[in-house]
Amino acid sequence: MAVEDPVDALLANFLSWLPLFAALPDARYDERYGVASWTSSVQLPFFNGLVGAPARNEAIDELLERFPDGTPILWVVTPPSDITAALEDRGFTVESMPGMTVDLAALSPGELPAGVDIRAVDDDPELLELTTEIAFTTNGFPPTAVPPILDAIGRVRDRLEFTTFLASVDGVPAAASALVVTDHVAGIFNVGTLPEFRRRGLGGLVSLAALEAGKKRGCTMGALQASQQALGVYRAIGFEECCRFAFAVRG
């Protein structure tokens, strides 16, 4: 039996988010030139964006025409494509992030310090909202982004194996992560720690909790895209880089 390329598996996990974008408020979703794109009534990047890359740079302008002037846009360029220079020429700020994977069989569960508790919160609407707010506001979004994203997640729950985790310190909510399961891959997303609880290893612990949950569901590989700030944390867990994504923002 052929072994699946880890990059292909990671990419399939990442692309499982696409139904979520199509479920955003007033979403208009389209796929052309190998690129998925969407607009919504929420005027923030992520809520308006594109994933993929056209074979010809000439198609970039046509793809961008659907976004009204001034609309904030996130364009995620997936591996192995590279249209960074073309996007920078069009006013995008581009950040390269490594795609990373880990063999879950070699994963060691994180030992929780005294006073730290981590649990899934999807069955508690109030905690789910609070955890999602931690995840999004610590990654640069305003609190107003939380209701539309919760609504979208709720409407695609049957298509997206999505679980949200909350880390608390002495009963106080402190950090968040999300697990997205596709086939044998446990994808980690939306990791964030409130400023007053940083430098305690909570980001790594809440990520490990999500990976362990994926392992119990039969996943054999963990996957994520790491920011520069979190790179050391994930390397310490055992993640290794296998590809590069470009996250480009304009507006």
The Cα–Cα gap between 174 and 195 comes to: 9
Say what the pLDDT of residue 161 is: 82
CB-based contacts of 85-92 (< 8 A; 24+ apart in sequence):
86/57, 86/60, 87/60, 87/246, 87/248, 87/250, 88/248, 90/60, 90/61, 90/64, 90/250, 91/250, 92/248, 92/249, 92/250
The Cα–Cα gap between 117 and 92 comes to: 40
Q: 60 phi and psi, to 5 degrees?
A: -60, -45
Tens of each residue's pLDDT in the chain, 251 residues: 445 799 999 999 999 989 999 999 999 999 999 999 999 999 999 999 999 999 999 999 999 999 999 999 999 999 999 999 999 999 999 999 999 999 999 988 778 999 999 999 988 999 999 999 999 999 999 999 999 999 998 887 665 688 999 999 999 999 999 999 999 999 999 999 999 999 999 999 999 999 999 999 999 999 999 998 899 999 999 999 999 999 999 98
The Cα–Cα gap between 11 and 230 comes to: 20
Say what the pLDDT of residue 229 is: 87
The Cα–Cα gap between 179 and 210 comes to: 6
The Cα–Cα gap between 249 and 93 comes to: 5
Q: Residues 86, 60: contact at Cβ < 8 Å?
A: yes
Which has the closest alpha carbon to 21: 2, 45, 4? 45
Say what the pLDDT of residue 153 is: 86
Strand order in the sheet with 116-120: 28-32, 35-39, 49-52, 73-77, 240-250, 93-103, 221-225, 185-193, 172-182, 161-169, 116-120
- Six-digit token pair at 145? 């982004």
- Six-digit token pair at 136? 């999004």
